[in-house]
Chains A and B, each alone.
Chain A
């Protein structure tokens, strides 16, 4: 075997200081391992959440509101001028998407889009002395089944029961528990408009998203219109796309065409994605801090080695080794610690993930969403990123003292060694 001289010197120095070498490798490994495990956890959760949203929530919704208030005719009459108008009051019109059914039919013509027109509104469900306010969605069961996953989310009863029993109602699993209602229970449904209906529970759904399972119910569109006293009206058009990535483009196209506020799923969940971004920044800061600490460890060790090996450096330079050779000896030590740390860290990260996955966690009640065990997102990306980062950090930490070592003058050391 004939390794390059700086490499064999670097190896000899690392082996000569076994304890410190192992400790600094462990430091890097920790950083890398946690980077991988925490990234997988974080991204796994995000991915799970996005999947859930795509699964449960409509990809695009059109709402009965405008993004900006309508422009007054007088302002249109005098463009580029200041118009003062007093006593302006919005027109008191029946709320809802005007011509909603027609719009829904038009959208349904677009390829790869399923449409469900809905009238949603607040109602009280009363059962056995309990009052619960919920959001009641008036739906067309066939269209809703095509535009959502309600069919798969049914855990009791059937969606088609609404067709045979026009006063049927489908409630979320959490809601059913809250009310103590089971299939066949007869609920009193009271709307703010003062309409009261007796409705029979014909189905129970479970989506996994707490907000929906505890606060949402479905009934026929006509029943909802009766309860809300809004005949022939809808206030929500749900759309489901074959290709979820088209959501934003389709939303803005529809909004431009019809004027009603239309949101893709990304926009609807903007606040949560913002939160995700914040989480990622926090995580990266923590992991970065671990790597910086590991880097300081390496810096410290290389500095100590250089101090101890001043005599070696002196004789090597007298023999004719160049500055770059000397630099290489110590930078290589950092690189090797970085590589060893990264490899060990990969194993550690993998192990941590196995461990995390095996722990059951019970977040089924009252929390944000239902999770039964850690969602991990496994990707080579995390391994590559953490490895590159570790080797880079280790090399820089070693380079700083190595540069100083290369500048040592052999004469100064020889003089003091005698």
Chain B
């Protein structure tokens, strides 16, 4: 198994506050290919801050984040953009689907930025993804015409569009009922198992967290068990 993410002595401190606030302190963490990892912890423990660092949306104050052998610390924005485009898929608590675009077009957004496929190939891949996530008939509907669970599944399909190295999910079931939350986690399990995808998710729900291969516990910005 290869290492997807390697964090070495990573900390994140907000220095532009009146008193510096330490969000994360000396995090050492390795996540391997095909792992399904759940990050758990009380609110304010730094889960989201860790997510943003792992997703290259934020930069650490100290330490190194090595993504698939590339040290991303202090890398130029253009390199980070490329890595996010090719290697990372994002799912958030809010679906962040573009309301003017159909489910199919939303899924095609990352592919159209990457431009590795022809238009018809992109379309075909988007349709396959919809099919895989059980949304075969939802392709031409706008996000406003979908249910909450369907929207989140479209968002996951979009995150998978460029066949990323790992999927990053920030409270993906936070806005969903139990049935849909269960469905989302089943999808994560399937992705890890069938497609050997690395999935990293934050969750509040201990029952859902228990379904992951590994749980990472954050308390006050520090890892408790890793």
Interface residues of A, Cβ cutoff 8 Å to B:
1-2, 5, 8-9, 12-13, 15-16, 311-312, 314-316, 318-323, 325, 410-411, 414-415, 417-418
Contact = CB atoms under 8 A, between A and B. Distances in A.
A321 B113 contact: yes
B94 interface: yes
Interface in B77-98: 77-78, 81-86, 90, 92-94, 96, 98
B139 interface: no
A312 B101 CA distance: 11
A13 B57 contact: no
Contacts of B149: none
A314 B96 contact: yes
B101 A322 contact: no
Main secondary structure of the interface of A (DSSP, over half): helix
Interface residues of B, number: 31
B100 A16 contact: yes
Given A2-B119, A15-B100, A320-B82, A325 B57 contact: no
B58 A319 contact: no
Contacts of A8: 112
Given A319-B113, A322-B78, A12 B100 contact: yes
Contacts of A411: 52, 57-58
A15 to B, nearest CB: 7
Given A5-B112, A312-B98, A318 B93 contact: no
A418 B112 CA distance: 27
Contact of A323 (B77, B109, B170): B77
Interface of B: 48, 52, 55, 57-58, 77-78, 81-86, 90, 92-94, 96, 98-101, 109-110, 112-114, 119, 170-171, 174
Given A316-B109, A320-B82, A322-B77, 19 more contacts: A2-B119, A5-B112, A8-B112, A12-B101, A16-B99, A311-B94, A311-B96, A319-B85, A319-B110, A320-B83, A320-B84, A320-B113, A322-B81, A325-B113, A410-B57, A414-B92, A418-B92, A418-B93, A418-B174
24 contacts: A5-B109, A8-B112, A311-B94, A312-B96, A312-B98, A314-B96, A315-B98, A318-B84, A319-B85, A319-B113, A320-B84, A320-B85, A322-B78, A323-B77, A325-B113, A411-B52, A411-B57, A414-B96, A414-B170, A415-B48, A417-B92, A417-B96, A418-B93, A418-B170
Contacts of A325: 113
A133 to B, nearest CB: 78
B202 to A, nearest CB: 11
Contacts of B78: 322
